[in-house]
Amino acid sequence: MRLRSNVTIVALAVLLAVLAAPGRADDLAEKGREVFKNNQRAIVTVQIVIKTKFSVPGMGGQSNESKQDLTGTVVDASGLTVLALSACEPGDMIQSIIAGISGEDGDSGVPLKMDTELSDVKILLDDGTEMPAEVVLRDRDLDLAFIRPKTRPAAPMLAIDLAKSGRAQVLDQIITLNRLGEAAGRAYAVSVDRITAVVLKPRLFYVPDSAMTSTTMGSPAFTLDGNLLGVFVTRTARAKSSGGFGTLIKLLSFRPENLNLTAIILPAADILKAAKQAPEAKGDGDKKEETKESKEKK
């Protein structure tokens, strides 16, 4: 009799778990849709024209110019928008990766060099308007770039409040927003991710799940209660290598674990601190502006 009772209890527990699962999924979907509805208009497509120069001493070099669409997060009604610096100006990141090849540390590597430069920046609005913009601030340490429209918008732009921030723990679910590419009509997109690690030193940041989603660099991440967790950027550690073809093979394979780089979520508090230093747009004269912290590290 006791065995039969135990079996009955287990069966009821399993049934209740199965019945409760759709409710939890529906609850997550509802919270995700609420975050999406409240913040989607603050996610913009930033179109850039990037010039890339690649050279090897004694072997000449090549240059290339391409147009790319990036994801930006508007953080002020004036149009101040934050991007991942590594997405719009990847030259420094790439140069750090190939440092082992270039022989900068005194090794006998192959002297490769790659430079990238922006020649045009535009914020694309929903109605098809192209809003010329410029980079007003760079923080290479945080992998942030801030852009402003060259002409102040006629109406305030919807922006995400950086001061309304949240925190997350390992395995917490988060909501991420993004703008898809031209082939998908630059539609707004939303994904559900999880936090796989919380790194406390040398500064706080979150490591998201590596599963494939629509999320790209510059996309914001929110807690389920709708507060901003942070923005996706790239963290790079300088490659420690003896140089030569071993490092070259790692570069060509372009596997993140081999190149000492990873996607992280930079907390909203760090972005807010940097955003407060962003000056007004002044034309091309402020092209090399950097945050005070970034300058001190040079």
Report yes or no on 24 lying in a domain: no
Q: Give pLDDT, residue 32.
A: 95
Determine the structural domain holding residue 219 and report its residue range.
29-279
What's the number of domains the chain is made of?
Answer: 1
Is the model's pTM score more than 0.85? no
Look up residue 20 and give its amino acid: A
Cα 31 to Cα 242: distance, rounded to the nearest angstrom: 49
- Of the given ranges (11-20, 95-104, 226-235, 260-269), which has the lowest mean pLDDT? 11-20
Report yes or no on 284 lying in a domain: no
Kindly state the average pLDDT of the residues 156-185.
95
pLDDT score for 58: 66
CB 146 within 8 A of CB 278: yes
Provide the sign of the torsion angle of the four alpha carbons 238, 240, 246, 250, taken in this order: negative
Supply 53's token pair: 């120069």
- Do residues 188 and 33 make contact, with C-beta atoms less than 8 angstroms apart? no
Decide if 293 is inside a domain. Answer: no
pLDDT tier, 109 (very low <50, low <70, confident <90, very high otherwise)? low
Angle (CA) 82-85-86 rounded to 5° is: 140
pLDDT at 229 over 60: yes
289 within domain boundaries? no
Angle, alpha carbons 184-187-189 (nearest 5°) = 110
Report how far residue 216's alpha carbon sits from residue 143's, in angstroms, rounded to the nearest whole number. 14
Q: Distances in Å between the alpha carbon of 221 and those of 73, 164, 193, 195, 265?
A: 10, 13, 9, 11, 7
| Tens-place pLDDT, residues 42-80 | 999 999 998 888 776 666 667 788 899 999 999 999 999
Q: Are 110 and 103 in contact (CB under 8 A)?
A: yes
Q: Is residue 2 part of a domain?
A: no
Backbone angles phi, psi at 28, to 5 degrees: -65, -45
pLDDT at 242: 47
Question: Which CATH number does the domain housing residue 183 bear?
Answer: 2.40.10.120
Is residue 180, in this structure, part of any structural domain at all? Answer: yes
The whole-number average pLDDT for the span 150-168 is: 94
Whether residue 114 lies inside any domain: the answer is yes
Radius of gyration of the CA atoms of the chain, in A: 22
